[in-house]
Amino acid sequence: MKNTTKGPSKGPSKPHTARPKTAKPKAPKAKGSGMVAGQVGSAQRQLKVRVKHAHKRSVSSNRWLERHINDPYVAASKRDGFRSRAAYKLIEIDDKYRVLKRGHRVIDLGAAPGGWAQIAAERVGAAESGSNAGQVVAIDYLQFDPIPGVVIYELDFLDPTAPEKLKSHLRDGRADVVLSDMAAPTTGHTRTDHIRIMGLAEAAIEFACEVLEPGGAFISKVFQGGTEGELLNLLKQHFAVVRHVKPPASRAESAELYVIATGFRVTKR
């Protein structure tokens, strides 16, 4: 999912909801991890593609491009109609911990290009009608295409008006699950990048504690780098169970982890 910490102002944000009649991408099966094992495994058996070194591309750019082209999750996401390979991370997490349930109200922070919102919408039934339909509200300062049943805000999450706008589209102004795959634009300085990313995670936690119903859940990207322990301690003050996980779809060489906090305890609104 794309970065979500800065961007030029584009005037008043206008939420938009895709109509359910819009062609939907293939929805993940109930056992999404099984689907991933078969399809991704098949992609891994394909011949590796090597990228020719273009005159204007750096060595690191060529390496990234070659890794991207040969990534089995990238290939699988194209076949399955998902917006990004990150969709499989949420599939793998939710298949194991069962966070997303039919009828749930979900907020997706840093949602572009929409991979997590796609999965959340399918699993909570956001495109359905009736009182048991789920709700998904997504936000990112980057524009991305509509998703059936998802309300999308093109707005920086750190904008002071963002929290109230997100809550205004949920039943009773509360959420059952807050998702965050936010990442700050990198500077190339490891320590600085880590601090900025963890700052986003802390902002997401603060918002989650403001909007979640008792018993609610929070899933967020974090990075290893020395301060994630402080983040866990903060979460343990508000949630009954806190876990660190690295789903199979997360690249082995990446420092990213995902924190899953369940059983939200309301202390003070």
Catalytic residues: 221
User: Which of 165, 177, 162, 157 is closest to 105 using CA atoms?
Assistant: 177
Positive or negative CA dihedral for 46, 94, 22, 138? negative
Helices and strands, counts by H and E, the chain: 8, 8
Buried b (16+ CB within 10 A) or exposed e, 149-176: bbbbbbbbbeeeebbebbbebbeeeebb
Buried b (16+ CB within 10 A) or exposed e, 225-250: eebbeebeebbeebbeebbeebbebb
Q: Which residue has the tokens 């999750």?
A: 73
User: Which of 194, 174, 175 is closest to 184 using CA atoms?
Assistant: 194
The phi, psi pair for 57, rounded to 5°, reads: -100, 140
Q: Are 192 and 232 in contact (CB under 8 A)?
A: no
Task: Please give the structure tokens belonging to residue 206.
Answer: 């603060």
**Beta pairing partners, 239:** 264
